[in-house]
Structure 1
Amino acid sequence: MTTYDYDYLLLGGGSGGVSSAKRAAINYGKKVCVVEANRWGGTCVNVGCVPKKIMFLAASMRETLVHECPQYGFGTPDATFDWAAMKKKRDAYIVRLNKIYESGLDKNDNVDIFEGWGSFVDAHTIEIKLKDGTTKTVTADKIVVATGGKPMVPPGEGVAEHCITSDGFFELESLPSKVVVVGAGYIAVELAGVLHALGSETHLVVRKQKALREFDPDIADMLDAEYTKAGITIHRNTNGVAKIELGDGGKKKVTMQNDEVIEGADIVLMAPGRVPITEGLGLEKAGVKLKEGKGYLEVDEFQNTSVDNIYALGDVCGKVELTPMAIAAGRRLSDRLFGGDAYEKARASYENVPTVVFSHPPIGGCGMTEPQAVAKYGEDNIKVYKSRFANLFYGIYDVADPNDKPKTFMKVICAGENELVVGMHVIGMGADEMMQGFGVAMKMGCTKADLDSCVAIHPTASEELVTMGTWGTSPQASGAAVPPLMGASAPEPKLKSKM
């Protein structure tokens, strides 16, 4: 039998790679190697969910001071924001997390870590260009590609030279007075919301009519209305940025493809999306295939690539690019590879994954959008429940028109005669905190009758999700099956007509 230096080698020290490495080393006693070229913790810890959530919280606090404290009898508190002080504290926290990730691996006798860039020599051999300039070559029985993604910068005259990306957002030393955010995805929406709430004049440039076009249409429409109402200027149907020019005082002039122009921007933040980090990995030397298009790795539901001993997880796969998803996939992969027959079919389920957008207001969702549900089950097999209301938090607001109070919108999409819940979407205060429990219910195959039978917690916003559409109706038998823990697929509704 061939002898290798390691049982398991992971390219990437982000959440997915580290989770899989620790599971293999701690639970199964395997000799593990982790290679990381940048800071430990990957995108989420360094330039993603963690620092972004900190900035979201800071922005939400300023909104509370400016808009909400006066309504609750506190007058108008000082809402001056010290960006530099906040950045110093945020960055120090991230450094602590980096060390936690690194030490969590380093203190394990079964794990070796190398800081440098790893690339394939062949299917079992990795060459590591270490940060000290030396090179080390190691071999491994099984290898995982978990290198994550990076911001995409589109072509255009002066675009690369005069913009920053979402990574660059976290390097800003001060709050820009005027900022142009380019993109229609959740990253662009989140950063535009943070900057506006903290006091920047904010312009959001989208290629088509609105942002979040892949989300449920009702959710996208309401966020669009809320951002417009808040004072964010949305530039629509631009087809993207044509060029960025540098003017007097370092101000930027942004010209869109439709000839619309924005002048006087301090910062142009380019956030049209992310691409996988696969270039320079030597994947072709190992025979690993990429998908056509953006260069994601070709993987199956068990994280297998086209090469028997090479696997991939996280953002390089291009499917549900979320940190908890990468962690789940990494742990299940280690279970399957090293846990014996009991874990032979272990895999992470990519269905009904709850997610949140930290916009202003936040968005929570799980499962299908209404168009997706119609496409899969047919319009006659779909029933949709909607509710739009003012959160009790805004009940005492003194406004000329009650309709001016901030609103929460909720939507439950059901399929089949048993009204299996196949989609759930919320936008409004608390959406980010309430979706986890409803995600569990959907994974267990809940129906509308199950929601109806739950006694609601009053007064909360989440009670609306278990009471909407129930007045004057009788509960129905659920009959929903609970899927097995690992590798579970979502249950199918009992359709009214054969599809």
Structure 2
Amino acid sequence: MTQVYDLIAIGSGSAANSVVSRCAEAGWKIAVIDEREFGGTCALRGCDPKKVLAGAAELIDWNERMLGKGVQGRTTINWPELMAFKRTFTASIPRASEDKFKQAGMDTFHGKASFVDEDHIRVGDEVLHGKHILIATGAQPAPLPIDGSEHLLNSDDFLELDQLPDQLVLVGGGYIAFEFAHIAARAGSEVHIIHRGERPLEQFEPELVDLLVQKSEEIGIHVHLNAEVKSIRKQGETFVVSGTRNGADHQWHGGRVVHGAGRIPNVDGLELEKGKVSYNKKGIAVNEYLQSTSNPKVYAAGDVAATKGLPLTPLAGQESRAAALNLLKGNHTKPNYKVMPSIVFTVPSLGSVGLSVDQAQEEGYEVKVNDMSQWYTYKRTNEKYAMAKVVIDNDSGRILGAHLLGSETEELINLFAMAVQFELTADQLSTMNFAYPTAASDLGSLI
């Protein structure tokens, strides 16, 4: 007999949590399906475990900067011990996540979900009927047209490496590649980043990216631009990566080769056509309320949905909350995309929020540029790379965007995000008394 549910959620991460929790509180009968461990990408194999590793890289960088400035002796990373520490954050999540769902009265299913028709989902040998269906399956590594691509590790694999190779090759020049490169280099690996374009991290401010590349190369990361991988083959215990750089043939060698060249919506195997769910290369086609444009019983949230949001965990959570309200009360809530701060957790970190510098210049706004490397906040820890670019509307004084590189970026960018969200002016922010001496106390000088 087919089980009937008010809501079937496919996925158990950030994009699903608010939806299933709120609908369960409203008394809905809910099924949650995941083909992998319950808990989602961010908590298990993404943001959270990655930042545990990045924390160790920060310590190494701080130590290196302060040698001869009162600090003696170099700190090193013990990779197996670091990975064991990382697992203390992830090991309990699958069971805890599933228990939470069950305690709220939900049914949980392990397996690959696929549509049978517009309102029926198959998982294993069972077919479930859903009055509503949420797709929250996230993203997966984009397929790469490379001979020998089966030798590539993905980000999940890197975060489970028991031993770090002496040489590491990263294919791609985005978030994943640079974050992993900064971790691996601080842990003693010789790292190569191979990027097809002229500039990596293309969504960030070019001058700040250039400084980050300079820092990366100073710590031993080899950044190869205008380079393309053609094939990967195994030669003994080494992988030989063949391709071109600036049009000439080139080879790189590594103990592991990692895919860091982007992710795509994870719709494989869902058989969306059977469910009459339209999708494109950006993901499942949804309206402004996250409802499928072709099957009104279906909603989608997070990286799998074709929305205005960036593929970031807070945006997945934002969409999850909006989808929950729309399911429970009818379509009336739109996700908030006004402010989408993003961070590359390298060392130093790179951040961005609001209008880009190019947009600001096109629209006639002021861009205040500050090299902060000689400011007390950064000089006290001998930090060489720190810069900020803040976009301000001279007519109203409102802060419209900010672009930062430095050790304090991840917190400062949130203050600027708040300023953009609530349309604060430079004068308002300047009159705020922040604790001193802190990075926040520099805000008045930045604007």
The question of a shared fold, defined as TM-score above 0.5 by the shorter chain, is answered with yes
What is the root-mean-square deviation in Å for CA atoms of aligned residues? Answer: 2.2
Q: Distance in 2 between matches of 1:194 and 1:363?
A: 15
Instruction: State the partner residue of 1:430.
Output: 408
Q: 1:456 to 1:91 in 2, by over 3 A?
A: closer
Instruction: State the partner residue of 1:164.
Output: 153
Q: CA deviation at 1:67?
A: 3.4
**Residue 141 of structure 1 aligns to which amino acid in structure 2?**
K
Q: Distance in 2 between matches of 1:322 and 1:243?
A: 31
- Paired residue secondary structure (1:467): helix
State the identity as a percent. 29
What residue ranges of structure 2 are gaps of 5+ in the alignment? none
Contact kept in structure 2, 1:451 and 1:467, CA below 8 Å: no
**Residue 43 of structure 1 aligns to which amino acid in structure 2?**
T
Q: CA deviation at 1:464?
A: 2.9
**What's the TM-score once normalised by structure 1's chain length?**
0.83
Q: CA deviation at 1:106?
A: 1.3
Match of 2:101 among 82, 105, 125: 105
Q: 1:107 to 1:414 in 2, by over 3 A?
A: same
Match of 1:353 among 323, 334, 340: 340
Match of 1:328 among 299, 309, 318: 318
Q: Distance in 2 between matches of 1:90 and 1:270?
A: 21
Q: Distance in 2 between matches of 1:231 and 1:441?
A: 37
Contact kept in structure 2, 1:410 and 1:427, CA below 8 Å: yes
Q: Distance in 1 between matches of 2:380 and 2:225?
A: 35
Instruction: State the partner residue of 1:222.
Output: 211
Contact kept in structure 1, 2:289 and 2:334, CA below 8 Å: yes
Q: CA deviation at 1:211?
A: 1.1
**Residue 20 of structure 1 aligns to which amino acid in structure 2?**
V
Match of 2:423 among 445, 449, 452: 445
- The answer to whether residue 376 in structure 2 is matched with residue 392 in structure 1 is yes
After TM superposition, the structure 1 = structure 2 runs for residues 1-150 of structure 1, keeping only pairs within 5 Å, are: 5-26=4-25, 28-68=26-66, 70-77=67-74, 79-109=75-105, 111-129=106-124, 135-150=125-140
Contact kept in structure 2, 1:252 and 1:267, CA below 8 Å: no
Q: CA deviation at 1:187?
A: 1.1
Contact kept in structure 1, 2:53 and 2:183, CA below 8 Å: yes
- Paired residue secondary structure (2:283): coil
Q: 1:445 to 1:409 in 2, by over 3 A?
A: same
**Residue 77 of structure 2 aligns to which amino acid in structure 1?**
F
Q: 1:216 to 1:356 in 2, by over 3 A?
A: same
After TM superposition, the structure 1 = structure 2 runs for residues 282-301 of structure 1, keeping only pairs within 5 Å, are: 282-291=271-280, 294=281, 296-301=283-288
- Paired residue secondary structure (1:286): coil
Larger radius of gyration: 1
Q: Distance in 2 between matches of 1:457 and 1:442?
A: 21
**Residue 371 of structure 2 aligns to which amino acid in structure 1?**
R
Contact kept in structure 1, 2:232 and 2:239, CA below 8 Å: no
Q: Distance in 2 between matches of 1:456 and 1:93?
A: 33
Contact kept in structure 1, 2:386 and 2:406, CA below 8 Å: yes
After TM superposition, the structure 1 = structure 2 runs for residues 232-381 of structure 1, keeping only pairs within 5 Å, are: 232-238=221-227, 240-256=228-244, 258-291=247-280, 294=281, 296-306=283-293, 307-318=295-306, 319-339=309-329, 344-374=331-361, 378-379=362-363, 381=364
Q: Distance in 2 between matches of 1:187 and 1:23?
A: 32
Deviation per residue, 1:102-137 (Å, 9 max, x gap): 12111112x1111111111111111111xxxxx111
Match of 1:192 among 181, 200, 204: 181
Q: CA deviation at 1:4?
A: 7.6
- Paired residue secondary structure (2:156): helix
Structure 1 consecutive aligned stretches of length 4 or more whose deviation exceeds 6 Å: none
Q: CA deviation at 1:360?
A: 1.5
Number of aligned residue pairs: 441
Contact kept in structure 2, 1:151 and 1:167, CA below 8 Å: no
Q: CA deviation at 1:247?
A: 2.5
Q: 1:338 to 1:297 in 2, by over 3 A?
A: same
Q: 1:207 to 1:224 in 2, by over 3 A?
A: same
Contact kept in structure 2, 1:410 and 1:465, CA below 8 Å: no
Q: CA deviation at 1:456?
A: 4.2
Instruction: State the partner residue of 2:440.
Output: 462
**Residue 392 of structure 1 aligns to which amino acid in structure 2?**
Y
**Residue 201 of structure 2 aligns to which amino acid in structure 1?**
L
Q: 1:41 to 1:259 in 2, by over 3 A?
A: farther
Q: CA deviation at 1:85?
A: 2.0
Q: 1:121 to 1:441 in 2, by over 3 A?
A: same
Q: Distance in 1 between matches of 2:378 and 2:270?
A: 53
Contact kept in structure 1, 2:167 and 2:190, CA below 8 Å: yes
Q: CA deviation at 1:393?
A: 5.3
Q: Distance in 1 between matches of 2:150 and 2:269?
A: 23
Q: Distance in 1 between matches of 2:144 and 2:244?
A: 13
Q: Distance in 1 between matches of 2:119 and 2:442?
A: 54
Q: 1:261 to 1:113 in 2, by over 3 A?
A: same
Match of 2:191 among 184, 198, 202: 202
Q: CA deviation at 1:394?
A: 4.8
**What's the TM-score once normalised by structure 2's chain length?**
0.92
